[in-house]
Amino acid sequence: MRNFDYVIVGAGSAGCTLANRLSEGGKYSVCLLEAGPADRYPWIHIPIGYGKTMFHKVYNWGFETEPDPNLNGRKVYWPRGRVLGGSSSINGLIYIRGQKYDYDLWAAQGNKGWSWDECLPYFKKLEHNDLGESATRGVGGPMWATTVPGGDKLVDAFISAAGACGVPHVTDFNDGRQEGVGYFQLSTRQGFRCSTAVAYLKPARNRTNLTVVTGAQAARILFEGKKAIGIQYRKSGEMIDVKAKREVILTAGAIQSPHLLMVSGIGNGEHLSKLGIRSIQHLAGVGENLQDHLQFRLMYEVSQPITINDQLNSIVGKAKIGLKWIWNRSGPLAIGINMGGMFCRVLPKESKTPDTQFHFATLSADHAAGQVHPFSGCTYSVCQLRPESRGTLRLRTADPFDRLAIHPNYLSSDTDKRFAVAAVNFARKVASSAPMSQFMKREFRPGPDVKSDDEVLAYCREYGTTIFHPSGTAKMGPASDSMAVVDEKLCVHGVQGLRVVDCSIMPTLISGNTNIPTVMIAERAADFILDTARRS
């Protein structure tokens, strides 16, 4: 059995960050385990390439939910990264922190040290922001925040139309207030994807105290009594044990971190005993509190040939796209799909801060990796930022390599249903406002036949889908919270030598895309872990 100071499970948004920070200085030995391969696939690094990785069986776990009764019994495809960089290597690149409100709420729930003001230094530490340094922005960090170039005719019309609907124009969504409309920032660096594998892991790969093992799927946490001492993993059909002299750190994400906890004996003791799993620590909250952003897409045919559809439907257009990227790393290949963003309140009487996120794309297709429509098109994607609906994860068997049963329980809250209708109606209001209205030739999804609130809700049930932000399944909270899994230092309650460091620890889902908040969580955790080491 090989020995390391720290064993990290999952080389994703958090795992790559931790591997770098814990191996800095050479004092501690670190082993980073990743079930997937290295990130050598070229489309991983080209920003628009996530359409190529969305359904890729090598680089994507390709999870699927159980049939959801609130979505007309549909199963929903949940892509998650299975490659160095994890989901930061296959995501939509949007660079968002969330709102001040989100983190202050965490602190108010008993999580000392997690307010916005206390998290802000870590957000600044991790980033290199092209808007420059300020009281809320950082420069010189590993993760680049690159603003989408302005001047797109359709995006500019979207911004102006939103302004006509009362939403102010902003250039920075990440100052804690968030409310406004403008061009997104992306996790890109000079025309390439800036994943955590690129930003954090690559600079550390040659350190002699860092070992990275790919193709290594964790099977269970090894315990001596209630102390975690290592990980058993499978590589090339062989079961291998690796020992952690100091700590085991789970960074496998909101699906697989709780999965690994449960098959290792940490979870609801009654549920585990029914599957023949010996309980190490009863924690009823493992696999509970599942939250996700459910998106509803509205699509329009555009009256002028000014969309990405037009370029991709033309041989000459495709050639121009390729040449732009080759020549100066610009154009659609360097940007991805979503250029315009908006954070607003569609239920203003109930929401003191933005409750809705818009992703606006000058492109339309039936699904994320599908062929674009054979006409000029654009897409408004809307999602509720803080859904009330909560889902669960359940073991099917005690086999660590069996898939979990994922029950998102979307639209189970009356508030979430009202939000869905209000969000679609507000998107239609923006589309019908000048100057956007002059470009909107026809709405083909939901379509003009979908008019009443009941019809809009029925549309949302039939076509709503994930926007890829599952979180909360190993929530952070004080010991007095019976559903808490980790404390404010991210140590698992009731055991020693074990932490969870990823978006599963979020008590409540943050308002926006989850990649950058997960990196922040890992930066914070690195300080917690190193502080513990210094005091031991």
CB 106, CB 114: distance < 8 Å: yes
Give bridge partners of residue 243 from the DSSP assignment.
3, 230
Which residue's entry shows tokens 């958090």? 14
Query: In whole angstroms, what is the distance from residue 195 CA to residue 10 CA?
Result: 14
- N-to-C CA span, the chain: 24
SS3 at position 346: coil
List, in order, residues 6 or more apart from 206 with CB less than 8 Å away.
none
- Write phi, then psi, for 223 (nearest 5 degrees): -125, 150
Nearest 5°: the CA angle 518, 272, 240 is: 65
Nearest 5°: the CA angle 495, 499, 502 is: 145
Q: Is residue 469 flagged as an active site residue?
A: yes
Distance of CA 296 to the CA centre of its chain: 17
One of 45, 128, 469, 493 is an active-site residue; which one? 469
Q: What is the dihedral of CA 411, 388, 418, 348, to 10 degrees?
A: -150
Query: In whole angstroms, what is the distance from residue 105 CA to residue 113 CA?
Result: 12
Q: What is the CA radius of gyration of the chain?
A: 22
Q: What is the largest CA-CA distance in the chain?
A: 68
Which residue's entry shows tokens 């360097």? 334
List, in order, residues 6 or more apart from 186 with CB less than 8 Å away.
47, 93, 94, 95, 145, 146, 147, 148, 335, 336
Please write down the long-range contacts of 117-126, taking CB distance under 8 Å and 24 or more positions apart. Answer: 119/520, 119/524, 120/176, 122/520, 122/523, 122/524, 123/97, 123/174, 123/516, 123/520, 125/523, 126/17, 126/516, 126/519, 126/520, 126/523
Residues with catalytic roles: 469
